Amino acid sequence: MLPLIYGSAITRLHAELALVRLGQAGIGLAHVSVFYPQHSRPRHALWTKDCAEFPLSTGEPVLVSGFLRSWLKDTVDAAESNSLAEGLRNLGLLHGPSQYIEGCLREGRAVVAAAEWDEFRASVVVECLRGVGTENIRQAMIDDRRAAILGFRFQSAEAELPMSPLGRVPA
């Protein structure tokens, strides 16, 4: 199981700040996903491309960027789900967290999520999200075996360390 740490951003600016802070803290952006209503789409260059649209259970379209975009797209393409919450449940997320994410999106708030196996790096994610005012930070588990069956591999944290003039920055 893959730990997923997520929280709701009050505004688009909060979501953008969370992305910047996670990157500054050495959390690889390959470990981060953002769920957002179309009107709250972050302007950060990495998130304006490579996003996919998914329907909420109400039919309203929302956008997903990051690693969960690919995982969810495969469940929807395989006709395993009709909504974002159902797609998240197909990836192993329980009903409560799936409904929470959908509820935030219905209220017009973005949700920033990061996956980290390492306990220390997970605490860094929590502190980054808390530091920019992300609300209701929670942790849930996603079935990474399910994602592997879909053909995706989650990259190790070491592969995502930022470069400095002296080489890789230690975690």
Neighbours of 77 (CB within 10 A): 11
Closest CA to 9 of 79, 77, 105, 143: 105
123 in a structural domain? yes
46 in a structural domain? yes
Q: Which domain holds residue 70?
A: 2-159
The whole-angstrom separation of Cα 62 and Cα 40 is 10
End-to-end CA distance of the chain: 22
Closest CA to 80 of 146, 169, 155: 146
170 in a structural domain? no
137 in a structural domain? yes
90 in a structural domain? yes
Q: Which two tokens stand for residue 113?
A: 């999520």
User: CA distances (Å), 34 to each of 9, 79, 149, in order?
Assistant: 10, 22, 23
Give how many domains the chain has, as a whole number: 1
168 in a structural domain? no
> One digit per residue, pLDDT tens: the chain, 171 residues?
788 999 999 888 888 899 889 989 998 888 899 998 887 766 664 555 678 888 998 889 999 988 888 888 876 666 556 788 888 888 888 888 999 999 999 999 999 999 888 888 889 999 999 999 889 999 988 876 655 544 444 444 333 333 333 333 333
User: Taking the model in full, what pTM does it have?
Assistant: 0.79
164 in a structural domain? no
166 in a structural domain? no
The whole-angstrom separation of Cα 3 and Cα 146 is 14
The whole-angstrom separation of Cα 167 and Cα 22 is 20
